Structure formats: C-alpha cells, structure tokens
Amino acid sequence: MPKVGLEKLYYAILTKDDKTGLTYEAPVYLPGVKEITVNPTTQTAKLFAENKLWDQDTALDEVQIGINLADVSNKDSAIMLGQTVAAEGGVFANEADEPPYLALLYKANKSNKQARYQVLYKGKLSLPQENNKTKEGQTEYQTPQMSGIFQPTINDGNWKYQVDTDDPDCPTDIETAFFENVIIPTKKVTEP
C-alpha cells in the first residue's frame, strides 16, 4: 500500500560500530516532522568482453537524505550537528564542529490505515538550509531543511530496516517498542 503520511521522527547517536558490536544512545524525539526523503545511489561497474556486456557488479554508493521539520531546538541542533551550547543561551557553530554518526527512526502512514516503521542506521547531517523572509502581507512559514549522507554500518553492513504493521511477523508492541531502542534485525530462519 502507498504511504499517505508521516508522523514521528527520532534520532539516536551511534556510540559503537565495529565488528564486535553496534550500539546507540536512547532515541530522542524530533517534533514537527514534515517530510523525509531517502535517495540511495549505486555505482555499477561493467566488464565488456567479446563485444558485449560480459558481467556487472553494483554496489551501494551512499544514501542521501533530506529532512524538513517545523523547527529544530537549539539543543537538538547542537547534538546532531556537533555544535556547542552557549553559556549565554543558544548554540554556536565553529569551523571545527564534527557532527556525530546517528540513526534516524520514523513512522509513515499507509493508505490502508497501517504504518511503516523505518530505521536508517548510520549517517551524518549537514548544516541546515535556513530561509528568512519578510511577511509581504501574509504569513509564510520558513522551516529548517536538513540533509545528510547515510551509509552501511561496519558491524553488519545494514543501512536500512523497515517493518509494516500488516507484516505477519511484525511485533504486536511495535507502536511503543520501536522508538525505545534502535532495532537491530536478525535473519528469519525457516524450517526446511
């Protein structure tokens, strides 16, 4: 079923990603999500022999994401972009800021009244685009737009997980459990 809405967005700071484990801090709610775009790009190498395409290999290059929010608090901005909270209030950005790797978790609504939950496992956000415009006789909301590049994890190579509430194996407590921790899926084993 097609998606018809978007309800929730959380981020979780990635604290460990190596062959021994994958761990995250507890997910943090980002209120006011308006839109998320996920654009994976691939690179295909082609081998030509005997005057034709002989073989090819495709690999994930990167996953470009875009987020449009109603607003981003100074605290969340500082955490997600590696900026510094100011003693005088607010945050300040420095040329040496280093955004942390994080996961994004979100819930989209489907047209059949079900939902799709998704996780993007590892990426960094870029500085948001900021627009400020005069009213010109009417209110026109100017909302922050963030972008980032996501990639597979070192631990297991996963870059995305999704589950639909109408999937027969979807956990019954998905609505509450999904945003408590970053879910690391395991392969389903079927009996022969």
CB 67 within 8 A of CB 77: no
Strand partners, 65: 38, 148
- Whether 185 is covered by a domain: the verdict is no
Range 149-173 average pLDDT: 95
Give the C-alpha separation, 140 to 134, whole Å.
9
The string of pLDDT tens digits covering residues 35-73 is 999 999 999 999 999 999 999 999 989 999 999 998 889
**Residue 134: pLDDT band by 50, 70, 90 thresholds?**
confident
- Whether 67 is covered by a domain: the verdict is yes
Residue 139: its pLDDT value, please? 79
Task: Give the structural domain span for 99.
Answer: 3-42+55-177
CA-nearest of 38, 31, 25 to 8 is 31
Global confidence as pTM = 0.88
- Whether 47 is covered by a domain: the verdict is no
CA-nearest of 170, 33, 30, 187 to 114 is 170
- Whether 192 is covered by a domain: the verdict is no
Domain count, the chain: 1
CB 122 within 8 A of CB 12: no
First-to-final CA distance of the chain = 30
The string of pLDDT tens digits covering residues 81-112 is 999 999 999 999 999 999 999 999 999 999 99
- Whether 187 is covered by a domain: the verdict is no
Q: Which two tokens stand for residue 189?
A: 């084993």
Give the C-alpha separation, 73 to 67, whole Å.
14
